[in-house]
Amino acid sequence: MKVIIDSAVEYKPKPLNLDKRGLVMVEALSNICHYPPCKEYIVPPKRKYCSAAHQKETARQAYDTRRVDEDLSLDDKIKREQERLSTREDTRVLQQLQRTAAKRKEYIQVLREVITSFEPSKLIRPTNLKKDVAEVSWSIDLSDWQVGQYTPIQSTGGMYEQTTQVAKNQLDKIWEAIQSIFAVEIGGGRKRLRELWLNFIGDLVDGDCLRPSQARAIDSTVTQQTIEVADLAALFIRRCLTLPGIEIIYIDMVGGNHDRTSSKPGNASLGELDFVDTYAWLIGHWLDRIFVDEPRVQIKVWDTFYGYKTFGGLNHAFEHGASFRGGAGSYGGIPWYPISNAATKYGDMLGSVDVVHMGHFHQPAVLPLGQSGWVFMNGALPVSSQFIQSSFKSLRAPMQWLIEYNLKHKFINNFHPLYADVGQFVKHGEVWADDFKGPEITQG
User: Which CATH number goes with the domain that contains 197?
Assistant: 3.60.21.10
**65 occurs within a structural domain:** yes
* One domain, residues 170 and 319: yes
Does position 141 have pLDDT exceeding 50, yes or no?
Answer: yes
CA atoms of 236 and 262, how far apart (whole Å): 28
Does position 184 have pLDDT exceeding 90, yes or no?
Answer: yes
pTM for the model: 0.71
CA atoms of 392 and 126, how far apart (whole Å): 57
**58 occurs within a structural domain:** yes
The residue ranking higher by pLDDT, 221 or 52, is: 221
The residue ranking higher by pLDDT, 137 or 442, is: 137
Q: How confident is the model at residue 181 (pLDDT cuts 50, 70, 90)?
A: very high
* One domain, residues 270 and 359: yes
**403 occurs within a structural domain:** yes
Task: Tell me the average pLDDT across 267-292.
Answer: 95
* One domain, residues 51 and 197: no
**14 occurs within a structural domain:** no
Which of 117, 143, 168 represents a domain boundary (last residue)? 117
* One domain, residues 140 and 109: no
Judge whether 264 and 315 are in contact, CB under 8 Å: no
Does position 195 have pLDDT exceeding 80, yes or no?
Answer: yes
* One domain, residues 104 and 155: no
Q: How many domains does the chain have?
A: 2
**139 occurs within a structural domain:** yes
Domain extent at residue 376: 134-432
Task: Tell me the average pLDDT across 220-226.
Answer: 96
pLDDT in tens, 283-330: 999 999 999 999 999 999 999 999 999 999 999 999 999 998 776 666
* One domain, residues 106 and 142: no
**269 occurs within a structural domain:** yes
* One domain, residues 107 and 246: no
* One domain, residues 322 and 267: yes
pLDDT in tens, 396-440: 999 999 999 999 999 999 999 999 999 888 888 888 888 887 787
pLDDT of residue 25: 46
* One domain, residues 204 and 288: yes
pLDDT in tens, 235-248: 999 999 999 999 99
Which of 60, 86, 117 represents a domain boundary (last residue)? 117
Which of 82, 117, 152 represents a domain boundary (last residue)? 117
**129 occurs within a structural domain:** no
pLDDT of residue 147: 97
pLDDT in tens, 254-266: 999 999 998 889 9
* One domain, residues 106 and 49: yes
3-state secondary structure the chain: CCCCCCCCCCCCCCCCCECCCCCECHHHHCCECCCCCCCCECCCCCCCCCCHHHHHHHHHHHHHHHHHHHHCCHHHHHHHHHHHHHHHHHHHHHHHHHHHHHHHHHHHHHHHHHHHHCCCCCCCCCCCCCCCCEEEEEEEEECCCCECECECHHHHCCCECECHHHHHHHHHHHHHHHHHHHHHHCCCCCEEEEEEEEEEECCCECCCCCCHHHHHCECCCHHHHHHHHHHHHHHHHHHHHCCCCCCEEEEEEECCHHHECCCCCCHHHCCCCCCCCEHHHHHHHHHHHHCCCCCCEEEEECCCCEEEEEECCEEEEEECCCCCCCCCCCECCECHHHHHHHHHHHHHHHCCCCEEEECCCCCCEEEEECCCEEEEECCCCCCCCHHHHHHHCCCCCCEEEEEEEECCCCEEEEEEEEECCCCCECCCCHHHCCCCCCCCCCCC
* One domain, residues 100 and 240: no
* One domain, residues 263 and 348: yes
**15 occurs within a structural domain:** no
